[in-house]
Amino acid sequence: MASATSAASSLSLLPSSRRHASSSPRLPLSLRLPRTHLVQSLSLHVAAGAARIVSGRAQRGSLRVVAMAKKSVSDLTLAELEGKRVFVRADLNVPLDENQNITDDTRIRAAVPTIKYLISNGAKVILSSHLGRPKGVTPKFSLSPLVPRLSELLGIKVEKADDCVGPEVEKLVSALPNGSVLLLENVRFYKEEEKNEPEFAKKLASLADLYVNDAFGTAHRAHASTEGVTKFLKPSVAGFLLQKELDYLVGAVSSPKRPFAAIVGGSKVSSKIGVIESLLEKCDILLLGGGMIFTFYKAQGLSVGSSLVEEDKLDLATSLMAKAKEKGVSLLLPTDVVVADKFAADAESKIVPASAIPDGWMGLDIGPDSIKTFNDALETTKTVIWNGPMGVFEFDQFATGTEAVAKKLAELSGKGVTTIIGGGDSVAAVEKVGVANVMSHISTGGGASLELLEGKELPGVNALDEASVSVAV
Ligand code: ATP
């Protein structure tokens, strides 16, 4: 068992008293705080259930510790929202085709619960997002193509401004009725956004009375609309999506139902060091796949042919294996691999034991024995987090391992196992297999989810208001 199983204190999140009309996303029922808990982590997952903890424990009369938590949109009442101008930073960075059609509306749908909650409580929503990586005003990165879908999902006609600051926008804001939405133009049309320039943040903030950050995908960036505005708007609170991401990526991972397995794949061990180290503190089983396994094999003295290897990370691989042993974490490397004669979709391929990779061949997927071993290990778990594909899943003949993991996690989800897909390519894989809707949580932010899993603090979350929460220990 991992050493972090011992926790200093524990929390029970009791069912919400449902103070408000709209419902908040599903939350883990019990969260436990690990010994070395970051203040932020505490704030984050407690924020989601603040009302629950306080009301639930108050009934039992056992309040003993007052902790600081981030304030959530669900803490704002009708009286605090009705007629108020609310600046909502969402992540509406959806992919568009060459005809400006939305090819995946996941991010728009994910932003809807917070906006609906606000408009149903009579707020005037001033909605802000970036799209793409524009250099100055770039028409192809306008947010205009999002308006019809947003209006459809919200059931109201969304207005759109041609800018995100300035007198024209101010005029539109002042004409907003209660319960309406004004979509601002791409906030990254201004270079001041990413530079987090205070004057620009002040201009954005001047449009509103209070602030809601629901843009999890950019919460790891200190930009004007994610961090700067909080200096000028009170209260500044977390939206439902941000809250849910934190509940799972911080809450459920810090205090998992055990056994807890982490599956880490992807191309390089160097880009996942922080995640692996952090998960080694928490998990019971660690399954490794993807390109990074060859660095582990080589560190153990095996031949890896022409597989991807990071020569300068051999010592690191050895130390991670030693750390797993020391922590009592069962670290499983694939025992067989699918090797190819070249890096191509039509490469010749064969299955070989991990200890017998021929010269000139490269490993591009995990083999059938490994899939079986991984499935058997996963069968024993109660919580699983997955980040990074098991192979080069973009090529169909090397997608088997990744798809097998996706299918297994879907099956486990149906049996009540908490399954968390931590962003990036694993989300694409789960979507490709068509099982995204059955997972407990699919993160909407690759970079932000990695940083959270590494135990880092996110500036867009740190900047939000604290709320006092009573916690029983
Ligand atoms: P993202 O960076 O988008 O968040 P991720 O964290 O899920 O993605 P990455 O580290 O970027 O994962 O790795 C994904 C890439 O790893 C995929 O493009 C996949 O083709 C590649 N990959 C997986 N297995 C191998 C392998 N055996 N050899 C080379 N590349 C591999």
- In a domain? residue 251: no
Q: Are residues 199 and 90 in the same domain?
A: yes
Q: Are residues 235 and 343 in the same domain?
A: no
Q: Among residues 218, 245, 272, which one ends one of the domains?
A: 245
- The verdict on the CB of residue 388 being under 6 Å from ligand 1 is yes
In a domain, 60, yes or no: no
Do 262 and 239 have their domain in common? no
Q: Is 340 in the pocket of ligand 1 (CB under 6 A)?
A: no
Structural domain contains residue 151: yes
Cα 424 to ligand 1 centroid, rounded to whole Å:
9
Does residue 386 sit within a domain? yes
Q: Is 131 marked as a binding-site residue?
A: yes
Q: How far is the CA of 290 from the centre of ligand 1 (A)?
A: 7
Taking the centre of ligand 1 as the mean of its atom positions, its distance from the CA of residue 358, in whole angstroms, is 22
Which residue's alpha carbon is at the smallest distance from atom 19 of ligand 1? 392
Single-letter amino acid, residue 68: M
Q: Are residues 11 and 124 in the same domain?
A: no
Pocket test residue of 392, 395, 402, 420 for ligand 1, highest count of atoms within 8 A of CB: 392
What is the DSSP track for 199-240?
A: HHHHHHHTT-SEEEE--GGGTTS--TTTTGGGGT-SSEEE-H
> What is the reported pLDDT for 38?
27
For residues 17 and 26, what is the distance between their CA atoms, to the nearest angstrom? 14
Residue 56 clears pLDDT 80, i.e. is over it: no
The protein residue with its alpha carbon nearest to ligand 1, atom 12, reads 266
Question: Pick from 245, 278, 299: which residue ends a domain?
Answer: 245
Q: Is 18 annotated to bind ligand?
A: no
Q: Are residues 422 and 336 in the same domain?
A: yes
| pLDDT one-digit tens code per residue, 369-390 | 999 999 999 999 999 999 999 9
Residue 310 shares a structural domain with residue 436:
yes
The answer to whether position 40 is within a domain reads no
Number of domains comprising the chain: 2
> 28 CB less than 6 Å from ligand 1?
no
Q: What is the pLDDT confidence band of residue 251, given thresholds at 50, 70 and 90? A: confident
d(CA 394, ligand 1 centre) in Å: 9
Residue 202 lies in a domain: yes
Contact (CB, 8 A) for 453 and 249: yes
Based on the domain organization, do 296 and 436 belong to the same domain?
yes
Q: Could you tell me the pTM of the whole model? A: 0.80
308 CB under 6 A from ligand 1? Answer: yes
In a domain, 37, yes or no: no
CATH number at residue 327: 3.40.50.1260
pLDDT at 3 over 50: no
268 is catalytic: yes
Are both 236 and 288 inside the same structural domain? no
pLDDT digits (tens, 9 = 90+) for 161-214: 999 999 999 999 999 999 999 999 999 999 999 999 999 999 999 999 999 999
Q: Is 61 helix (H, G, I), strand (E, B) or coil?
A: coil
Distances (CA, A) of 293 to 24, 314, 334: 40, 11, 8
Instruction: Provide the domain limits for residue 126.
Output: 74-245
303 and 376 part of one domain: yes
- Both 210 and 232 in one domain: the answer is yes
**Residue 324 and residue 188 share a domain:** no
**Which pLDDT band holds residue 37 (cuts at 50, 70, 90)?**
very low
Taking all residues of the chain, what is their mean pLDDT, rounded to a whole number? 85
Is 188 annotated in a binding site? The answer is yes
Helix (H) or strand (E) holding 130: none
Cβ of residue 428 lying under 6 Å from some atom of ligand 1: no
Question: Same structural domain for residues 349 and 430?
Answer: yes
109 catalytically annotated: no
The answer to whether position 448 is within a domain reads no
Is the CB of 305 within 6 Å of ligand 1? no
For residue 291, the CA-to-ligand 1 centroid distance in Å is 7
Specify whether the CB–CB gap between 114 and 214 falls below 8 A: yes
